[in-house]
Amino acid sequence: MTTLDPASSAGPGPGASAAPGPPLRRRRFPVPLRRRAGAVPDPARAAVAPLIDAHRSACPGGDEAGLLYGYTVAERLHRGQLRKSGAPYITHPLAVAMILAGMGLDTTTLVAALLHDTVEDTPYTLGEVRADFGEEVAVLVDGVTKLDGERWGDRAEAETFRKIVLAASADLRVLVIKLADRLHNLRTLRFQPAHKRARYAKASHELLVPFAERLGIHVLKREMDDLAFAARSPEAHRATAAAMRVALREARGAFGPAVARLRSSLAEHGLRGSIEIRPSHLYAVHQALGGDLAGLRPSDAARLLLLVDGGVQDCYVALGAVHAALHPIPGQVRDFIALPKDNLYRSLHTRVIDPGGDPFEVIVRSRAMHPVAEYGIVAHIREAGDDGAATADAVAGRRDLVWLSRLLAWQSGVPSAEFLDQLRADLASGGEAVFTPSGEIVPLPPGATALDFAYALGPGTGDRSIGALVNGRLAPLSAEVRSGNVVEILTDPGGSPSEDWLGFATTAQARVHIGRRLARRRADEAAEAGRRRLVRALAGRRVDLLAAEAHGDSLAVARDLGYAEIDEMYAALTSGGLRLDDLLARFTRA
């Protein structure tokens, strides 16, 4: 994309760079999606062959002709446009489609990926996309198309993200394409100046990486994390990479005795499975150690992953086998099978001590859980294949993605200037699983309070809350809640938000609702104060304001002054935006 794509300099926008070539002209491609392969030029067939091969291996029933045609249209429209690297622009959408094909996405998603910059950077219109490729592809392309910077100005970035969020609520593939787009741009970030690299990487860490985490697409999250880390802190990245190489060279020998014990214990418990050494990604190691890499050990650089041949019960038996073989560290078991993460992730995590005395982490999951643990929502989309009805179920209206419902609940009405800050806060990593008395799980970020819990239950509960019972004990709304707490909110029908609530509300959902209620209250109080002032002033001139309101005279005066409602006019009188003498003159004249 021209403005958010750091590696592009193409398109009609400012700073575009184009190699000599035929001028782009608006044209229609009135050819159906399932175009005959023989109609595609040979160079296009060669260029798109790796994509078709990757798609065929994951989706044997995929529409290869559709991919050929999608590539042909995209290549023609982008012809003459270049990336900052000097490569033809078409290499970018093709690379994005390849990333998605490698994850096993359906044909529709890949065609949309090939076309994802055409509406933004070429004369091709959304209507033409719809006519040539169908409604489904058009919806995906529209979802990832940025808003016009010239038209939206400073609001463009925030409103583009709002648009993506709303589009993703209808089809999560919009976000998946956006993440693949960002991943390829991070891979090619070296062609940008240093200050742009750092700014782009920071935005990736704050907004796009958290979206990958929330969708459970860890294969993308890990690479995006490390690429953004390299751009933001190149020296720290190089130091971490060097320390990791040294530690991982010793990993097989260091983990060998523990692996041998685990295999023996699994056999004794009648279980089968595989054990893998899983290196942590660089940014995770950097964050965990705070940059202190001295003496980095294999147990700091990697974990053991136990994939169990069996079901949920076998995972718990396997956890027992792990603890029988290696000494467990008390309080370090996390059960994400009974309490899955917001992103559908399910596994058991435990920390144990190896025979040499080093603590390390073991992750236990079944083979059936593994694809979702790695690919998140993409695993569900992949299971649907190219079945339209199944895909619709996999990508839209998912109640199991609570975070998306919560985000949609607060985003409407938040001004552009505040939206990105609130979105960053809402996407903050980590999470606590807090329970209602009936056993319902309410996911909250670390540091969340009972007040945040109340608003997570609904704005009505939050607005009327007066206190809480945490594990049966009375607690103030400012009390911090943690995973495993059972919280009951105490309410008063006449309760309402207090100004001091903003001092301990942490979630975007709570802060937005509180801010709205307080703003409405302040507006009502200002309007009432302005009206009382006007009543007193008019009484001295023997004018009855109540009668003027009843006859519509007050509304007429307000509209004449440019206010939509009379309360706005009264509030302006309180704030000083409107002079009393000017208003009196109009009422005595009315």
Please list the active-site residues.
120-121
H or E segment and range at residue 335: strand 334-335
> What is the CB neighbour count within 10 angstroms for residue 565?
12
Closest C-alpha to 299, from 240, 244, 368: 244
**Contact status, residue 505 vs residue 456, Cβ threshold 8 Å:** no
Bridge partners (DSSP) listed for residue 491: 465
Cα atoms in the 13 Å half-sphere on the side-chain side of 464: 11
Strands 432-435, 327-328: pairing kind: unpaired
**Neighbour-count burial of 199, counting CB atoms closer than 10 A to its CB (0-12 exposed, 13-18 middle, 19+ buried):** middle
Residues 6+ apart with CB under 8 A from 390: 383, 384
The whole-angstrom separation of Cα 148 and Cα 150 is 6
Buried b (16+ CB within 10 A) or exposed e, 390-413: ebeebbeebeebebbebbebbbee
> What is the CB neighbour count within 10 angstroms for residue 234?
13
**Contact status, residue 33 vs residue 138, Cβ threshold 8 Å:** no
Residues 6+ apart with CB under 8 A from 246: 296
191 Cα distance to chain centroid: 26
CA distances from 482 to 97, 269, 431, 448 (A): 41, 34, 9, 8
Closest C-alpha to 116, from 59, 177, 61: 177
Q: Which two tokens stand for residue 416?
A: 């552009």
**Contact status, residue 495 vs residue 463, Cβ threshold 8 Å:** yes
Q: Which two tokens stand for residue 553?
A: 């005279």
Q: Which residue has the tokens 């808003």?
A: 147
**Contact status, residue 19 vs residue 80, Cβ threshold 8 Å:** yes
**Neighbour-count burial of 366, counting CB atoms closer than 10 A to its CB (0-12 exposed, 13-18 middle, 19+ buried):** buried
DSSP classification of residue 87: S
**Contact status, residue 116 vs residue 144, Cβ threshold 8 Å:** yes
**Contact status, residue 360 vs residue 352, Cβ threshold 8 Å:** yes
Closest C-alpha to 64, from 37, 102, 83, 84: 37
The whole-angstrom separation of Cα 122 and Cα 215 is 30
Closest C-alpha to 165, from 192, 144, 195: 144
| Strands lying side by side in the sheet with 487-491 | 473-475, 465-470, 487-491
Closest C-alpha to 404, from 179, 164, 169, 206: 169
